Amino acid sequence: QLSRHHYAKICPNVENIVRDAVKKKFHETFVTVPATIRLFFHDCFVRGCDASVLVASTPNNKAEKDHPDNLSLAGDGFDTVIRAKAAVDAVPLCRNKVSCADILTMATRDVISLAGGPYYEVELGRYDGLKSRASDVNGKLPQPGFNLNQLNSLFAANGLTQTDMIALSGAHTVGFSHCNKFNNRIYNFKSHTKVDPTLNDLYASQLKSMCPRNVDPRIAIDMDPTTPRAFDNAYFKNLQKGMGLFTSDQVLFMDPRSKPAVEAFASNSKTFHANFVAAITKLGRVGIKNAQNGNIRSDCSII
Ligand code: HEM
Ligand SMILES: [Ca+2]
Ligand SMILES: [Ca+2]
């Protein structure tokens, strides 16, 4: 029931309204880019793309956003959706007609293109979910220590192929990571090999200086050390040099099954863009709710 023209009669200007609000936020802080993209991913992988990740906990319900895997979601992603929703609802015709799930989908498309990535048509018509429970997040999100089989099986559970997974991992071309997410790779990889041998030597020493032992846990570093503010294919070129930040990044180049796609995306940004757009469009179809099992929230944080 998703369509490119879902709001044509309901709120014909919705895409421009969202884009203007997102642009305004983008000019205030670049962080809106990675924060919004990751929020969309974490929404879609838990109960589908239904804005369940946006819901706030209540005294009777610990919501998804308070699960440990979601505590590092940056506030600027939530704020981007709140602002776009307010802009949509300021138009009388549109008030409470556009789902939070669709607003997050549009905002994600817009931040990607604002950061120099591809612009693509989005499919719309999602309803907002009626549940958000922290316990539902268990086992649904990939971990930075995952190997290729673990990555593939989690993405396959969401209808995504290995190629989709590799293209979507290219989102790590922007944004930040806290030191604890990869510390094991630079300090205690194995008892005799303290540093992960798949890490580039110079990069490993840079990571050690940015993330010394017992670093302040709030410290976050760029995931793409070369072009942290551009949504480009540098992520894949970094992998070729041993500069993938997580095991789950570097494994894409180390495993012979995924290496050819990394090489293709590294050598041709058009190929990366085309595969990324196809994959994020598929991601946007996961677990779509309808008027029977969903609704349209008036406040994205409250069911
Ligand atoms: C393939 C498996 C993946 C793993 C294991 C993974 C893991 C992580 C981890 C550990 C962080 C750092 C969080 C922090 O410390 O703050 C991160 C950040 C991020 N991830 Fe992923 N991720 C994966 C796939 C994806 C996908 C598919 C997307 C989107 C399409 C994505 C988008 C992002 C973005 C944009 C950030 C930066 C967030 C920010 O700066 O606020 N990731 N990811
Ligand atoms: Ca969800
Ligand atoms: Ca980049």
Co-location of 55 and 124 in the same domain: yes
Are 111 and 36 in contact, with CB atoms under 8 Å apart? yes
The answer on whether 48 is annotated among ligand-binding residues is yes
The domain spanning residue 216 has which CATH number?
Answer: 1.10.420.10
CA of 112, nearest ligand number: 1
The catalytic residue among 5, 6, 42, 178 is 42
- Summarised one tens digit per residue, pLDDT across range 170-191 is 999 999 999 999 999 999 999 9
Other beta carbons less than 10 A from residue 153's beta carbon: 11
Residues 6+ apart with CB under 8 A from 200: 241, 242, 243
CATH code (residue 126): 1.10.520.10
SS3 at position 58: strand
Known binder of ligand: residue 173? yes
| Number of domains present in the structure of the chain | 2
Ligand nearest to the CA of 234: 3
For residue 169 and ligand 1, the question of a CB distance below 6 A is answered with: yes
Q: What is the pLDDT of residues 106-136, one digit of tens each?
A: 999 999 999 999 999 999 999 999 999 999 9
Q: Could you tell me if the CB of 284 is within 6 A of ligand 1?
A: no
Same domain, 160 and 75: no
**Which amino acid type is present at position 80?**
T
Distance CA 231, CA 24 (A): 19
**What pLDDT does 295 receive?**
98
Please state the rounded mean pLDDT for residues 217-230.
97
From CA 164, how far away is CA 274, in angstroms rounded? 11
pLDDT single digits (tens) 60-112: 999 999 999 999 999 999 999 999 999 999 999 999 999 999 999 999 999 99
Could you report the predicted ipTM of this complex, rounded to two decimals? 0.99
Tell whether 98 is covered by a domain.
Answer: yes
Residue 264's domain comprises 148-280
DSSP code at position 149: H
Tell me, yes or no, whether 1 lies in a domain: no
Backbone angles phi, psi at 3, to 5 degrees: -150, 155
80 and 165 in one domain?
no
Please tell me the distance between residue 89's alpha carbon and the centre of ligand 1 in angstroms: 30
pTM exceeds 0.95 for this model: yes
First and final C-alpha spacing in the chain: 22
At residue 124, the pLDDT reads: 98
Percent of the chain with pLDDT over 70: 100
CA distance 163 to 261: 7
- Residues 24, 51, single domain; the answer is yes
Contact, 248 vs 169, CB < 8 A? yes
Same-domain check for residues 102 and 180: no
User: Catalytic site residue 42?
Assistant: yes
